[in-house]
A = this chain, B = another copy of it.
Amino acid sequence: MTVTLQHDPRLDLVLERVVDVAPELVWAAWTVPAHVKKWFTPVPWKTVDCEIDLRPGGIFRTVMRSPEGQEITNVGCFLEIVANRKLIWTVALKPGYRPSDPTFDVPTFTAIIMMEPQGKGTKYTALAMHKDEKDRNAHDRMGFSEGWGKALDQLVAAAKTM
């Protein structure tokens, strides 16, 4: 039993789209490191490493690399895992639930990724929840919609090769 999530447009950013791959493939794209590396970071950046311990409190770590070789490591903590339907993780906590340093380049957020079967495809919803409007707007200005949208295009392309 999980809580009902309340979407607050003042505080959240949302990407919602119907994609033509099944929820099971979207799920695999999100939860298998070898797949995540294929799509997670919008080109020309690449995801060069990914670590996933798929259970509440487990690690979700990605390393992104720019064309110039700059690397950024992001570490988050999984919160809820419902296979093929819902994945929740946050950067407000480190693995094992320890509070994280707010030194992350992106404003602290919790991500809720939802997959609903729709025909042969998936209604895909990605929600980024922030503590206040300032963080939400900063994340928006950093290109949330374009970045997460481009990454979703890459996810769909990768899923079709699985």
Task: Tell me which of A20-28, A35-43, A91-99 binds B.
Answer: A91-99
Contacts of A130 in B (CB 8 A): 98-99
CA distance A30 to B94 in the complex (A): 25
Question: How far is A2 from B92 in the complex, measured between Cα atoms in Å?
Answer: 19
Task: Check: A79 CB closer than 8 A to any chain B CB.
Answer: yes
Which B-chain residue is minimally distant from A8 (CB atoms)?
B98
Is chain A's interface secondary structure helix, strand, loop, or mixed overall? Answer: loop
Please state the number of chain copies in the assembly: 2
A109 to B99, CA, bound (A): 6
Partner of A80 from the list B57, B88, B112 (CB cut-off 8 Å) is B57
CB-based contact B88/A129 at 8 Å: no
Q: Is A55 an interface residue (CB 8 A)?
A: yes
